Amino acid sequence: MLMGFIPALREYAISVSFGIKELYLEKKQNMTFFIQDYINQAQKIKEMREQIVQLEKQNIAYNALRAEFDNLYYSLNLERHYNDTDVTLVKVLSYATLGSYTKVWIVYDQEKDSRKTFGIVKDGYAIGIAKVVNNHLLGILNGDPECGYSVYIGENNVPGTLRTLSDGSIIIDYIPAWQSIKTGDKVVTSGLDGIFFEGIEVGVIGNIQFQEAYLRAELQPYAFSNRLNYVWLVDTKIPQITRLNPNDIVAQDVDSKKK
């Protein structure tokens, strides 16, 4: 009986061994599939992350392009249109200094003359001037102490000069005391400084004060859009020989006579 039991035991052992091997191979194959699935999923996750990053980049670029389009469309279609070849739509690049909103850098590819002063127009209103600084065009807006240009007041075209005081208030100065002006009179550019042409609206007269031989009036400038991405640049082609302060002209004449 023992001799008959041994073959059966051997067969059973072999069967169990095959079962164990099959189970091992199955587990091994399942583990291989699991690892492959994990690797595939990890690769898919990586690819999806890369696609998300790429889409985010494209979305940012799209939003920037959309904003640029909107600003350009606004400037070309909703603002005042000029047929004069000396009035050019230009792009504002950035503020010159963070926290200061009266100086901006302007993209201007034409030949730059440091002696030239341009006028800046936005929404049909004169909002400042532009000068070449270190071979770049700097926009200097109303409300900046360095901004000044010649204006007319009221129906009688009373002359005056727009400038800004140290406290930031915008005034019309050097108004002849014998001229008649009143609160609410419209202020427009005179064009006699070679910066603007005549008739661009600036604002209206506020409080009026006597200053020795001149009158001084507060200016209430017209409100313009804060979308400063594009502005109109006025080039009258007239060399600027006018100085802001009449005292400077007197001093210049005295110096020339001394020579």
Backbone angles phi, psi at 223, to 5 degrees: -75, 135
Contact status, residue 203 vs residue 162, Cβ threshold 8 Å: no
Q: What is the pLDDT of residue 52?
A: 76
| Exposed / middle / buried, residue 196 (Cβ in 10 Å: 0-12, 13-18, 19+) | buried
For residue 63, give both structure tokens.
Answer: 């939003």
Angstrom distances, CA of residue 153 to CA of 37, 161, 162, 174: 81, 10, 11, 12
Q: What is the pLDDT of residue 10?
A: 55
Q: What is the pLDDT of residue 246?
A: 47
| Exposed / middle / buried, residue 195 (Cβ in 10 Å: 0-12, 13-18, 19+) | buried
Angle at 100 between CA 78 and CA 171, to 5 degrees: 75
Which amino acid type is present at position 112? K
Backbone angles phi, psi at 33, to 5 degrees: -60, -40
Q: Is the dihedral of CA 85, 91, 97, 98 positive or negative?
A: positive
For residue 192, give both structure tokens.
Answer: 């006699």
Tell me if residue 170 falls in helix, strand or coil.
Answer: strand
Which amino acid type is present at position 169? S
Q: What is the pLDDT of residue 22?
A: 62
Q: What is the pLDDT of residue 242?
A: 58
CATH of domain 87-234: 2.40.10.350
- Residue position matching structure tokens 């790429």: 54
For residue 74, give both structure tokens.
Answer: 């606004």
pLDDT means per 10 residues, the chain with 259 residues, are 50 56 61 67 76 72 69 64 70 89 91 85 92 93 94 95 92 94 95 89 94 92 84 83 50 39
Angstrom distances, CA of residue 196 to CA of 119, 190, 200: 5, 7, 8
Q: What is the pLDDT of residue 253?
A: 37
